[in-house]
Chains A and B, each alone.
Chain A
Amino acid sequence: MPSLAPLTVVIPLLAAASLVGAVAIAPRLFIDTLSIAVAAAVAVLAASLLHASGSDTLVYWFGGWEPRDGVAIGVSFAIDPLGAGLATFIAVLFVVAFVFAYRYFRVVGPLFHVLMLVFLAGAMGFCLTGDLFNLFVFLELVSVSAYALTAYDIEEEGPLTGTLNFAVTNSVGAALVLIGIALLYARTGALNLAQIGDALAGRSPDGLVIGAFTFLTVGFFTKAAVVPFHFWLADAYSVAPTPVCLLLSAAMSELGLYAFARVYWTVFAGTLSGAEEAITLLLLAAGAVTAVVGAVMCFSQRHLKRMLAFATVSHVGLYLLGIALLDPEGLAGAAVYVIADGAVKASLFVGVGVIQHRYGTVDELALRGRGRDLRPTGVLITIGGLALASLPGFGPFLGKSIIEESASTAGHGWVAVVLVVCSALTGGAVLRSAARIFLGWGDPDEPPDDFSMPGKEVDPEEQYPHDRVPLPMTVAAVALLAGGLLIGLTPGLPADAIAAATRFTDRPAYVATVLHAHPAPVTAATFDGPAPRDWLFATLSTLGAIALAVRSLWRGRIRDTLRGPPGHMLRAALVALRALHSGHVGDYVTWVVVGTVIFGGIWAATLG
């Protein structure tokens, strides 16, 4: 079984290369069919890896260069259920994105599919690799194809600046990752994750290790869009073609966080074990700030894609809260939440794509009441909004419940409050726009504020409005939403996720499996189901989302109704926050530097 793992990378790369060769002669239908078939084949492969890795971590050494006497010589894939699970999820998303793109673009060159397939290959290798430098290379493969895909509508004005901000900020982040890798290599002479971790384990961390930890964290957080490294994300997502948005939103940030978790637990957990408290506190703070900033920005958008982009930022913060707890349960909660929430957000992007396809705009105010003849899409977006707001019983709710339980066990009960408030704000924003667009609710003459991105762009691929919603789009949206909701009803999923996370966080066992071919210890876990308080929190955030949506529709924008001195201060803070998102790449890179100094400074003071 492990010997099939490289095929998840090889197949899409070969398909991409042959499509480039066949550009001139391949008919559109062939290109679409081939792409869907390749993505489906990769999804099946990844799912079988997920199944096979359930009992033991799968290790594959390229070229048969197996470790000698516990020293890694070659390059390996090391596949455990969390990595294979993320790979499966991303491959399935690609199937949906290709199906959606089939009708989204009236005219599309095969290079779109080529870039998508390269993205897929990179993401698969990224999830499965056991080598730090390969992790970097696969991440860059994903990033560069994502830059090119974001700029796909190069004739428009938005994609130019959006891609510029995306590519420059992320390349600076990548340089930081590489410096971190070089420092680790200088210390340990190894690039295999298990080997580096083994060499560092038990030693007290010195300046070089803390520096490497800081650079890797900051670099991965730039990809993941953690505040203050998040500025590029909204610019990129609001200009990328919708099928690409779907992937970026549900896969890109998650890859950044996955990289952080993987590197923390395989490389640094052994040497930083004495400082877990300090790491947890800083990560919790970063997660909470990210969640709140994203949620507030999300609620104040009228450009639908930009709104979902900031919802993505906010939820990255919520995932980070789960990871920050540095225990298997929190990590498992984040993993379940990533899958469920990612599927729901992707279906919302498809819904926005349908609106764009139909009306040629994604501006909430301009669309007021125009969606009355698009009821099914309205229902879909409403359910999606409720799911973001943690509709009790379904997928995102389950993930958040596991995080809440883990946080309260660790004595960080306030995490639940952040989850409730941010879920209510992001869900409320979606519900508000659904009510405005599909029911015509709200003040007809609401004035736009100074910042709001009007989102007046006409669909660049489709210059005219359409009468019908193509079937593939509906199928894509419904499948994603149903998947995201129903995953919460899968019996045994939380326990399996916690068991998988237990293996993911067990560094000595990872070393034993990868370097010494010992079978991974059997991990079993139980989860009693969400506690009554979790149901209460979820009900609160769902009701809160509805209340926020209704209030902002009928009582004007929140910032206009803030009164009194505290209200003025809040309002000034809101205006300042929005002004920070300046669209200027120099500002964004400055924030990366500031964030690096903050993380490095705090860790130098607390980890040494």
Chain B
Amino acid sequence: MMDVLPYVVAAWIFLAGLYGIVTSRNLIHLVTCLAVVQSSTYLVLLSVGYKKGGEPPVFADRPPSPRAVDPVVQALTLTDVVVGTTVTAMLLAIAVQAHKRYGSLDPDEIRSLRG
């Protein structure tokens, strides 16, 4: 049960973020929900590499431990955080611009493309 729990939580976070995006009436809220969706992937990655009673994957200045958690997924998570932050920052800039232009952050009020 405890093995599955992190994945259940990740799925919950993912779906909660999606629900937020789908129903959002505010661009800042929408962008934050996207960040929530992305953060579920961090949890999946870290759960994949975790071991019960694991130790930090530090191999210098100490004898290598067989219980060290997987360092690869941590590197992947870090890369993913960078990607996610880039997208979030850019979308927030767009939200600011939208507010300047329309005085509104409601995606329904600013949409100009359809059909």
Contact of B110 with A160 in the complex, beta carbons under 8 Å:
yes
**Given known contacts A147-B90, A172-B34, is B72 in contact with A238 (CB within 8 Å)?**
no
Contact of B94 with A185 in the complex, beta carbons under 8 Å:
no
Instruction: Kindly state the separation between the CA atoms of A186 and B76 in the bound complex, as whole angstroms.
Output: 13
| A179 smallest CB distance to B (angstroms) | 6
Contact of B80 with A178 in the complex, beta carbons under 8 Å:
yes
Instruction: Kindly state the separation between the CA atoms of A439 and B40 in the bound complex, as whole angstroms.
Output: 56
* B8 beta carbon closer than 8 Å to chain A: no
A155-177 vs B, Cβ < 8 Å mask (1 yes, 0 no)? 10110111111011001101100
- Count B-side interface residues using an 8 Å CB cutoff: 41
**Given known contacts A175-B38, A178-B41, is B115 in contact with A453 (CB within 8 Å)?**
yes
**Given known contacts A185-B73, A451-B114, A451-B115, is B21 in contact with A585 (CB within 8 Å)?**
yes
* A583 beta carbon closer than 8 Å to chain B: yes
* B91 beta carbon closer than 8 Å to chain A: yes
Q: Contact check: which of B31, B72, B97 meets A191 at CB < 8 Å?
A: B72
B45: chain A residues at CB < 8 Å are 178, 182
Interface residues of A in 316-352 (CB under 8 A from B): none
Contact of B21 with A144 in the complex, beta carbons under 8 Å:
no
B31: chain A residues at CB < 8 Å are 168
Contact of A175 with B98 in the complex, beta carbons under 8 Å:
no
Interface residues of A in 418-432 (CB under 8 A from B): none
B99-115 vs A, Cβ < 8 Å mask (1 yes, 0 no)? 00110000110111111
Q: Contact check: which of A175, A178, A578, A586 meets B22 at CB < 8 Å?
A: A586
Instruction: Kindly state the separation between the CA atoms of A164 and B113 in the bound complex, as whole angstroms.
Output: 11
B9: chain A residues at CB < 8 Å are none
Contact of B110 with A171 in the complex, beta carbons under 8 Å:
no
| B41 smallest CB distance to A (angstroms) | 5
Interface residues of B in 57-115 (CB under 8 A from A): 72-73, 76, 79-80, 83-84, 86-87, 90-91, 94, 97-98, 101-102, 107-108, 110-115
Contact of B34 with A239 in the complex, beta carbons under 8 Å:
no
Instruction: Kindly state the separation between the CA atoms of A133 and B30 in the bound complex, as whole angstroms.
Output: 27
Contact of A452 with B115 in the complex, beta carbons under 8 Å:
yes
Instruction: Kindly state the separation between the CA atoms of A174 and B23 in the bound complex, as whole angstroms.
Output: 20
A235: chain B residues at CB < 8 Å are 113
* B28 beta carbon closer than 8 Å to chain A: no
| B64 smallest CB distance to A (angstroms) | 16
Instruction: Kindly state the separation between the CA atoms of A144 and B113 in the bound complex, as whole angstroms.
Output: 21
Q: Contact check: which of A167, A179, A239, A300 meets B91 at CB < 8 Å?
A: A167
| B24 smallest CB distance to A (angstroms) | 6
- Count A-side interface residues using an 8 Å CB cutoff: 53
* A97 beta carbon closer than 8 Å to chain B: no
A133: chain B residues at CB < 8 Å are 76, 79
Interface residues of A in 479-502 (CB under 8 A from B): none
Q: Contact check: which of B83, B87, B110, B114 meets A157 at CB < 8 Å?
A: B110
B22: chain A residues at CB < 8 Å are 586-587, 589-590, 593
Contact of B114 with A182 in the complex, beta carbons under 8 Å:
no
B108: chain A residues at CB < 8 Å are 584
A165: chain B residues at CB < 8 Å are 113
**Given known contacts A157-B112, A162-B113, is B18 in contact with A593 (CB within 8 Å)?**
yes
Instruction: Kindly state the separation between the CA atoms of A191 and B76 in the bound complex, as whole angstroms.
Output: 11
Contact of B87 with A167 in the complex, beta carbons under 8 Å:
yes
| B13 smallest CB distance to A (angstroms) | 11
Instruction: Kindly state the separation between the CA atoms of A590 and B113 in the bound complex, as whole angstroms.
Output: 18
Q: Contact check: which of A171, A181, A453, A593 meets B113 at CB < 8 Å?
A: A453
Contact of A154 with B97 in the complex, beta carbons under 8 Å:
yes
B21: chain A residues at CB < 8 Å are 168, 172, 585-586, 589
| A73 smallest CB distance to B (angstroms) | 11
Instruction: Kindly state the separation between the CA atoms of A28 and B23 in the bound complex, as whole angstroms.
Output: 45
* A148 beta carbon closer than 8 Å to chain B: yes
Contact of B48 with A182 in the complex, beta carbons under 8 Å:
yes
A451: chain B residues at CB < 8 Å are 114-115
Contact of B107 with A160 in the complex, beta carbons under 8 Å:
no
Instruction: Kindly state the separation between the CA atoms of A582 and B22 in the bound complex, as whole angstroms.
Output: 13
Instruction: Kindly state the separation between the CA atoms of A583 and B21 in the bound complex, as whole angstroms.
Output: 14
A593: chain B residues at CB < 8 Å are 18, 22
* A199 beta carbon closer than 8 Å to chain B: no
| B89 smallest CB distance to A (angstroms) | 10
B87: chain A residues at CB < 8 Å are 144, 147, 167, 171
Instruction: Kindly state the separation between the CA atoms of A167 and B108 in the bound complex, as whole angstroms.
Output: 17
Instruction: Kindly state the separation between the CA atoms of A593 and B111 in the bound complex, as whole angstroms.
Output: 22
B30: chain A residues at CB < 8 Å are 168, 585
Extra A-B contacts (12), CB below 8 Å, given A157-B112, A586-B21: A148-B90, A155-B97, A157-B102, A160-B101, A164-B94, A167-B87, A175-B37, A175-B38, A451-B114, A451-B115, A453-B114, A589-B18
Q: A-side interface residues toward B, CB under 8 Å?
A: 133, 137, 140, 144, 147-148, 151, 154-155, 157-158, 160-165, 167-168, 171-172, 174-175, 178-179, 181-183, 185-186, 191, 234-235, 238-239, 300-301, 450-453, 578-579, 581-587, 589-590, 593
* Interface CB pairs A-B, < 8 A, 16: A133-B76, A133-B79, A144-B86, A148-B90, A151-B90, A157-B112, A160-B97, A167-B90, A168-B30, A168-B34, A175-B38, A191-B72, A581-B115, A583-B111, A585-B30, A589-B21
Q: Which 6 A-B pairs have the closest CB atoms?
A: A451-B115, A583-B114, A583-B113, A583-B111, A186-B48, A586-B22
